[in-house]
A and B are shown apart, each in its own frame.
Chain A
Amino acid sequence: MAKLKKPFNILASIRLAVFIILAMAVIAAVGTITEARYDAEVAQKLVYQSVYMYTVMGLLIITLIAVMVDRWPWKQHHAGFVLAHVGIITLLFGAWLTQRYGVDGSVAFETGQERNSVTVKDREILVYSTLDGNNFSKMYQGPEDFIRHPPSEKFPYIIHLGDEDIRIVQFENFAFKESEVSASDAEQDGPAIRFQLENPNVNLTQWIRRDARRDSMDVDLGPAKVVLATELPAPSGRNEVVLVEKPKSDDLDYVIYNKDNSVRKKGHVRQSETVETGWMGMKFRLLRYMQHAKEKVTFTPSPTASPISTPAIRFTFHGEEFWLGLDTVMRYFQKDGMYLISYGHKRLQLPFALKLHQFKVGMYEGTDRAASYESLVEAPGRGLVTISMNEPLKYQGFTFYQSSFEKDEKGEPVASILSVNRDPGRWVKYLGSMLIVFGSIVLFYFKRVQWAKALRGKS
């Protein structure tokens, strides 16, 4: 027993507690600086959820328990001290419950869409394979923790797929996407064009690449829309240049539509030929035409976070090198089948589906400043419910909060984003919080009584 006494005394000492408290403060400060330098997720992974933080918190709990045991048997004036310290332990226990068993994710949907899954913060890599394009079998599913353990050429992250490995050799948390279109020999690749729209005020150059599985692909450039299609589509009420492919031919048919859906012009166009559109002296110039084209996506790393940067990985597969951005899927064709390689946030199935009926942004009078966001959703058995800022929806153990929305180029809201949450630790945390506040009030009150006694003793 006597042997045990000494280490116990150290744990129960207030001196150690002071160091632990200060260590937590220092780690937290490092975390905020990390967040300002990079972003919240990096700070979470590298600081707040690091071994250091967990060690310090573990020590804190041990010390808290030790110091309470040390003061046993408790007297009346210990009430505040015990309550506050038990409160801290309870709060941390509640936080652990949330971390371990809680769900924290988000749902994004456009008006009219239905969703039955939640995207959570964790990222994962998924590989499927298929022989016929209809039946997929899952080859690999694994969590990604590249912020903490980035792969490198020397220490790649390897996914075994039987015949060939996927070797992830680079991870960039902040990267900008670049893509390059080039001619391809493969019959399954769709066509691509590069064109220029030019008049004295406008000069736009752009690629359009049509995926072989789609019939048409378009790009809207403001003054006009350009479409690349296999068959002539109906006009869409815009100034439109439509290019129609012909099998095994170097030239394209073109049709120019007016805003009123009338046909302005028709004809053929070849690579490096120019067509006068007749709108404000605008010329359409076909710079390139490839009957089969492939798009190569690369990413260039950025030193810091930016709202348009995205995490990306680089890997090799069958001797070829690929970049894959977060939340994208890549198809890899082989002679006898296809692989689907997906890198993205994990999804969690909900036992029900929610449907977004309407999304509204309220503005401050006479301005473009948002005053409120509101989503009108339909929940099975509950009918239509409104979710707004500060007014969440509680449904089947989950809570749905209005968190933000997505805008299109014109600034009109197109999709609503709800955050979804299930928190089994909530009431434990609340209880802990109550104990802390109540305990510290009692603690300081007794201090005052003790002082008053001491003062009376002196006089």
Chain B
Amino acid sequence: MKLLLTLLLFAGFCAHADVGEPLETLPIQDAGRIKPFDTFARESLQLIYGKKTYGERSATATIFTWLLLPDQWINAPIVELRHSGLKEALKITSQERYFSPQSLFTNERVPLVIQELTSLRERQEKLNPYFQAVQRLENQLALFQAIRSGIVLRFVPDPNSDRWKSVAELDGDLREAFIRVSKGFVDSVGSGGSEPQPSDEFRAAVADFISKARAQAPDKYADMNKISWEEHLNRFHPFKWAWIIYLSGIFFFFLGFNVKQKWAVPLGWAFLLGGFGLHAYGMGLRIYLAGRPPVSNMYETVVWVPWCCVLLGLILERIQKTKLLLMCAATVAIFCLILTDLAPTVLDSSIQPLEPVLRSTFWLSTHVLIITLSYAAFFLAFALGDVVLFYYLKDEHRFQHQIAIGVNSIYRAIQVGIVLLAFGIILGGIWADYSWGRFWGWDPKETWALISLLCYVAVLHGRLVGWVKNFQLAAAAVIGFSLVVMSWYGVNFVLGAGLHTYGFGAGGIEYVIGFVVIHFLYVAYVSTVRYGRVKSQTSR
């Protein structure tokens, strides 16, 4: 059984070579950095089509054919358009999700809605979801045009400029070399039948093009080591495997402790640590590629926080001696890592250049890492709170022992969180003082961090005077986390105000609100049930 599972996992790794494979590691300059063509293709396809693959075909092969066969693709349904209000504005009645670029280029209402967006931008107003959809459409159409005309495919460094030359600007030798690459690709596609493989000529043509491009400006050309590591990160996608392995870990722990299968416990440990290692490996790669701590945007923190959560779980497990901590931490990790795959538009995984103010690795790694570490502690307390409340719901006398351990762990996690958050806020103050000249400015991000801190401090003080007993502490851990969600996500995505503008984004609000509301309802439900029980016991 176990063997079968492992074999199944491995089958995924050894997928057959795609026909565009030699192109994947072709360096391209895009959005302020040099990346493999594979990354560019995935990001472009994600923007235009909403997915990172086109059916069975890889992003690389798909995007490359847009350049080679522009007239066929312009009539293919590849532009994702989901916003119903925008469809209405464009007088599109179809329920389809994908539309051909041609149909949108010829739609006479498209320039009108884009004009509206432009005038809104000139007034520098905030964009509502409708205009965000218009903005996406504008970007989709512009990018498709730019790809099919080749002007964004900047493959060759220019010794006289920071801007690389695109395939549309190539001449002489390089032009010939690029034509051979295209020809090699076309021949490979044509020769292979249903599962085409890259031919040797194709591989040689790509290698030749790379060496010719490098010769233009060797010191500006890409570090091929980094390029192939990035391509590996894209293809391997360690975070997906990490959550799958975490899940197996939880499964074996569950077998070990709840079904009393002793043999499963070491396996649980092995899988949990394996997932943790893989999670770390993925982040390590990202740190190496981006050259900065993994906390500069929403996606990175949603990957980093659960890792810290597991780390804290492992440390606290040494002190509290309960596997409950590990299982909660792993659940948080699974939840977050699945989230990053489910919501790629909200949690944009592309490595973007940093805003000037963030370009200080020292402060970024101290202040932001510590703040996010505190989020991890509160996240852990939240997950534990959920479980403890569940025990209360089942039978608080039978699970007395588990509740006591759980509450102790919650208390511990909140303590750790408070110290880290206070420290992180203060470091943020010192950073702000150092680079803006003010220690505290009531910026929404820092204010919400303070609000979270104050509320958790109030909870601990309430416990001192007996207002917050075990049950209330578990409930507070669950409710309190909504404040963390507000400072983590809400300030950037809901309030959209303040100096921390570099993290602004959009989307997913309804899901986050749903998440918070469900937990409020859960706490309310358990409280009501428990209150009823206590009342009936005392009246008896």
Contact = CB atoms under 8 A, between A and B. Distances in A.
B440 A371 contact: no
Contacts of B462: 18
A39 to B, nearest CB: 8
B436 A401 contact: yes
B426 A371 contact: no
B125 interface: yes
B434 A32 contact: no
Given A367-B31, A371-B356, A433 B454 contact: no
A309 to B, nearest CB: 9
A29 B486 CA distance: 10
Contacts of B429: 429, 433
B448 A32 contact: yes
B465 A22 contact: no
Contacts of A440: 418-419, 422
B469 interface: no
Given A18-B465, A447-B415, A437 B422 contact: yes
Contacts of A401: 435-437
Contacts of A392: 434-435, 437
Nearest to A102: B438
Contacts of A36: 444, 495-497
A389 B359 contact: yes
A372 B440 contact: no
A29 to B, nearest CB: 6
A371 B457 CA distance: 39
B123 A14 contact: no
Contacts of A14: 461, 464-465
Interface residues of B, number: 58
Contacts of A437: 419, 422-423, 426
B356 A373 contact: yes
A430 B429 CA distance: 9
Nearest to B431: A390
Contacts of A17: 461
A21 B359 contact: no
B447 interface: yes
Interface string B341-377: 0000000000001101101100100000000000000
Contacts of A444: 415, 419
Contacts of A307: 123-124
Contacts of B426: 433, 436-437
Interface stretch (A261-269, A280-288, A358-366): A358-366
Contacts of B440: 95
How extensive is the interface on chain A, given as a class? Answer: 35 or more
B71 interface: no
Interface string B442-455: 11100110110011
Contacts of A364: 32-33, 353
A401 B437 CA distance: 7
Contact of A426 (B164, B433, B435, B465): B433
A221 B112 CA distance: 24
Interface in A350-370: 363-367, 369-370
Contact of A372 (B356, B451, B457): B356
B88 interface: no
A44 to B, nearest CB: 6
Given A367-B31, A389-B435, A430 B467 contact: no
Nearest to A307: B124
Contacts of B444: 32, 35-36
A365 B162 contact: yes
Interface string A402-436: 01000000000000000111010010011001001
A365 B461 contact: no
A352 to B, nearest CB: 18
A29 B356 contact: no
A365 B437 CA distance: 29
B461 A33 contact: no
B522 interface: no
Contact of B430 (A28, A390, A419, A430): A430
Nearest to A432: B426
A365 B439 contact: no
B439 A426 contact: yes
Interface in A3-62: 13-15, 17-18, 21-22, 24-25, 28-29, 31-33, 35-36, 40, 43-44, 48
Contacts of A369: 32, 353
B321 interface: no
Contacts of B32: 364-367, 369, 371
Interface in B160-189: 161-164
A370 B32 CA distance: 10
A366 B222 CA distance: 14
Given A33-B495, A364-B32, A308 B461 contact: no
A366 B154 CA distance: 10
A10 to B, nearest CB: 13
Contacts of A43: 442
B455 A48 contact: no
A403 B359 contact: no
B484 to A, nearest CB: 13
Nearest to B494: A36
A43 B443 CA distance: 10
Contact of A421 (B357, B363, B438, B447): B438
A441 B360 contact: no
B331 interface: no
A33 to B, nearest CB: 7
Contacts of B161: 366
Contacts of B363: 390
A104 B124 contact: no
Contacts of B461: 14, 17-18, 21
B33 A421 contact: no
A98 interface: yes
Contacts of B465: 13-15, 18
B458 interface: yes
B123 A306 contact: yes
Contact of A366 (B162, B359, B439, B491): B162
A285 to B, nearest CB: 26
A109 B447 CA distance: 32
Tell me which of A365, A373, A447 has the highest count of chain B C-beta atoms within 10 A of its own C-beta. A365
A399 interface: yes
A104 B435 contact: no
Contact of A308 (B34, B124, B467): B124
A389 B454 contact: no
Contacts of A441: 419
Contacts of A367: 31-32, 353
B282 interface: no
A25 B455 CA distance: 7
A399 B434 CA distance: 9
A225 B228 CA distance: 54
B481 to A, nearest CB: 15
Interface of B: 29, 31-34, 123-125, 154, 161-164, 353-354, 356-357, 359-360, 363, 415, 418-419, 422-423, 426, 429-430, 433-444, 447-448, 450-451, 454-455, 457-458, 461-462, 464-465, 467, 491, 495-498
Given A95-B440, A308-B123, A365-B33, 13 more contacts: A24-B454, A31-B447, A32-B448, A32-B497, A35-B497, A44-B442, A48-B442, A364-B32, A365-B29, A365-B32, A366-B29, A423-B438, A430-B430
Which 9 pairs across A and B sit closest by C-beta, in order of nearness? Answer: A364-B32, A421-B437, A366-B163, A307-B124, A25-B454, A36-B495, A433-B426, A21-B458, A36-B497
15 contacts: A14-B465, A18-B458, A25-B450, A25-B455, A25-B458, A35-B442, A36-B444, A40-B441, A98-B439, A306-B123, A308-B124, A364-B33, A365-B33, A366-B29, A447-B415
